[in-house]
Amino acid sequence: MGVKRKPTWSTYKKGGEWWSIILYERAYDLTYETRGVKRVEFHTFAKHANAKAAFDAQVAAWLADGYVKLTPEELEALPRQGDGVSAYLGWTAPFPVDARYYQYNSVIHAVMKRDDVVITTGGVVGKNFGELERHYHDGGGLAAGEQFESSPNFYKPRTRAEVMKLYATAKTKTKKKRTTTTAKRRR
């Protein structure tokens, strides 16, 4: 019986953006970074062979697109984003047109189906959206969407336009609050 190696991250860079990827038994994770943007994707599969094939295809696509694999020294030299406490920066990605949206308190959840993949993402109104995505391959994410559909009293269905309005309103309130706080400090 062989010794299992611990999974390790590999990073591929092109210009001012880079992707990091790590393969697990039935999943792989990705992180994407460029100035002011940092996002994470979790991809899960029913079988290791499917995860490995998708992982290999992703790396091949990056290499074909001109990305180069970084050495540990090159990786260490990359700029660090964030506060060291959270993996996220608090940015808001575009709201997908093809998503179904659900709201619970100030949290927005989005569910999309693309080919055989169910994708979920979300965020806190006025703070972030889309920094973390879960990709369920091989039919594994159907329950994720059903969770929201089966609990309409808990997860209130929202349209994309309603979600965008919630974020725009929250952004306006945040600006007003900052202006008031700044004015008080000047006194």
- Kindly report, residue by residue over 26-59, the tens digit of the pLDDT: 999 999 988 878 889 999 999 999 999 999 999 9
> Comparing 110 with 139, which gets the higher pLDDT?
110
CB atoms within 10 A of CB 10: 15
Average pLDDT over residues 90-117: 90
Which CATH number does the domain 10-186 belong to among 2.20.140.10, 2.40.40.20, 3.60.20.10, 3.30.390.10? 2.20.140.10
pLDDT band of 172, cuts 50, 70, 90: low
> Comparing 125 with 88, which gets the higher pLDDT?
125
At residue 180, the pLDDT reads: 43
At residue 184, the pLDDT reads: 47
At residue 183, the pLDDT reads: 46
How many CA atoms lie within 13 Å of 147's alpha carbon, on the beta-carbon side?
Answer: 13
Q: Where are the domains of the chain?
A: 10-186
Owner of token pair 């047109």: 97
Distances (CA, A) of 11 to 17, 20, 85: 10, 4, 21
- pTM higher than 0.85: no
